[in-house]
Amino acid sequence: MNFLVKHNLVLILVFSFLLRLLAIMIFRDLKVDNEWGILLDNLETSGILSVHSIQGTPVPNIFMPPLYPFFLYSIKIFFRDIDTFLWVIQFTQLFLSLITIYLTHKILLQFFSKNISTIGTLIFALFPINVYSVSQISSIILQVFLFNVFLYSYLKLLKNINNKYIILFSLSSALLMLLRGEYFIFVILSLIYLYFKKKQLTKILIISLITVLIISPYLYRNYKIFGVVTITKSVGYNLLKGSHPRTKVEGVGMMGNIERVIPEVRSKLDKLKSKGPQLNYDLLQDQILMDQAILFIKADPSRYIQLYLKKFLSFMFIDLNAAYPNYYSPMHIIPKSIIAITSFIGIILAFRFKVSSTNYIILFYLANIGLFSFFFILPRYSLSLLTIQIILSLFILKKLKPDL
């Protein structure tokens, strides 16, 4: 019994490994699908990062962030056989997931006792969508891993800004931006919050400089091709997907079917494609989609205000009208509902009017929900905030059992 208590984290990791291995055996993806498959194929066959082809010719990508396709491609170079390649990806994601569980434990220790932190780590490790995601070819496991590195290093910086965590935070910030383009907003907000907490402008500027230097090759690539300094340019697509008259909380399916789903933009896109392959095609297409989204919103602004609130509540709690496959499966909806409710209660218990680590967690959580609600909400998005939801939920346990 003493062994179990002393080595509970090791046991959690061992059990998590076996559970994820089982998930891979049962649920594993057997191909690289959708946009990841297109990007990987174009990298292999044409040597170009491209998600769109015009008249059979791939055009440069600014639509999708680059990190996950490059992650896939770097492995595919060494493992050409598709089945071996998929196994390597899934086992790599499995080990990243185990490291993420360990980091979750380290993060929880910043707020709670060892016993409460162990309970939270176990919840994180066994959360069904977290287990299942390892088996899928998706960027979410890499995102959760990088986010936990980001969060752990940031919490350390809030206590003491030192070189080790400056480098760790800068690196994770840069990689998250290359994985999810919108993360630059959260990095900026985090640095502003850090300034109000520590008042060390020079070190914050150093963090900013290191982060920009890491992403600068891709920024230069995009400026050279598209004339803009950005990682991705897909706001138009995302806004239109979440603001179409027929859209729901999870948006209306559009990938590869924009003309069919939204006939209002068909003639403009046909005209654009008729000009043949253009280096800045992705940029021009996104502007067309942005213009159409704005027209839809202006035509019925009250509907989109209501839709925004519905998305916000659906992200924070559950979507009552989801069309996403298996959304209402008990293995998904029950734990999601519980963690959503307890997170909300945790915010009420933990919030104080001061600059603190706890308030940063709350503000980061609400800022994520607030930003994504402008666009659309997919079930996997909640996994990226699972660590934060567990932190918030554990404040209930801390309140009920202060001696635990």
Residue of 215, 223, 175, 212 lying closest to 67 (CA atoms): 175
Residue 58 near residue 52, CB atoms below 8 Å: yes
DSSP secondary structure code for residue 385 in this structure: G
Residue 55 lies in a domain: yes
d(Cα 185, Cα 197) in Å, to the nearest integer?
A: 19
**Could you tell me if residue 382 is inside a domain?**
no
Which tokens is 330 given? 């008990």
Q: Is residue 92 part of a domain?
A: yes
Beta strands of 109-244 (E only): which ranges?
none
Query: Are 98 and 85 in the same domain?
Result: yes
In what helix (H) or strand (E) does residue 99 lie, and over which residues does it extend? helix 82-108
| 103 and 3 co-located in one domain | yes
Residue 383 near residue 133, CB atoms below 8 Å = yes
Query: What is the spatial distance between Cα 246 and Cα 253, in angstroms, rounded to a whole number?
Result: 10
Domain count, the chain: 2
Identity at 311, one-letter amino acid code: K
Same domain, 3 and 130: yes
Q: Do 113 and 63 share a domain, yes or no?
A: yes
28 with 114, same domain: the answer is: yes
Same domain, 5 and 78: yes
Residue after which a domain boundary falls, among 93, 109, 137: 137
Sign of CA dihedral 255, 229, 378, 117: positive
Q: Which pLDDT score is estimated for 1?
A: 37
pLDDT score at 255: 61
124 and 8 in one domain?
Answer: yes
State the CB neighbour count (10 A cutoff) for residue 359. Answer: 17
* 286 occurs within a structural domain: no
Tens of pLDDT, residue by residue, the chain (404 residues): 344 445 799 999 999 999 999 999 999 999 998 899 999 999 999 999 999 999 889 999 999 999 999 999 999 999 999 999 999 999 999 999 999 999 999 999 999 999 999 999 999 999 999 999 999 999 999 999 999 999 999 999 999 999 999 999 999 999 999 999 899 999 999 999 999 999 999 999 999 999 999 999 999 999 999 999 999 999 998 999 888 888 888 877 666 566 566 777 888 888 898 998 899 999 999 999 999 999 999 999 999 999 999 999 999 999 888 877 888 999 999 999 999 999 999 999 999 989 999 999 999 999 999 999 999 887 778 899 999 999 999 999 999 998 88
One domain, residues 56 and 22 = yes
For residue 129, count other CB atoms closer than 10 A to its CB. 17
Please, which residues have CB within 8 angstroms of residue 230's CB and are 6 or more apart in sequence?
62, 181, 219, 222
Alpha carbon distance 393, 347 (integer Å): 8
| Angle, helix 140-159 to helix 386-400, in steps of 10 degrees | 50
Q: Which of 288, 238, 282, 289 is nearest to 48 (CA)?
A: 282
Residues 143 and 88 in one domain: no
- Identify the domain containing residue 79 by its residue range: 1-137
pLDDT at 232: 94
The sign of the dihedral angle between the CA atoms of 147, 149, 150, 156 is positive
- Which among 231, 259, 294 is the end of a domain? 231
> What is the per-residue pLDDT for 5?
44
Residue 176 lies in a domain: yes
For residue 257 the two structure tokens come to 């079917």
What pLDDT is recorded for position 322?
Answer: 81
Indicate if 87 and 166 belong to the same structural domain: no
* Residue 310, in any domain of the structure: no
Residue 290 falls inside a structural domain: no
Burial class of residue 81 in the structure, from the number of CB atoms within 10 Å of its CB (0-12 exposed, 13-18 middle, 19+ buried): exposed
Is residue 79 within 8 Å of 40, Cβ to Cβ? Answer: no
Q: Does 16 share its domain with 101?
A: yes
Is 394 part of any domain? Answer: no
Same domain, 177 and 84: no
Helices (H), 252-372: 258-261, 266-274, 281-299, 301-316, 330-350, 357-372
User: Considering 104, 137, 170, which residue would you say is the last residue of a domain?
Assistant: 137
What is residue 257's predicted lDDT score, i.e. its pLDDT? 64
Q: What is the pLDDT of residue 3?
A: 46
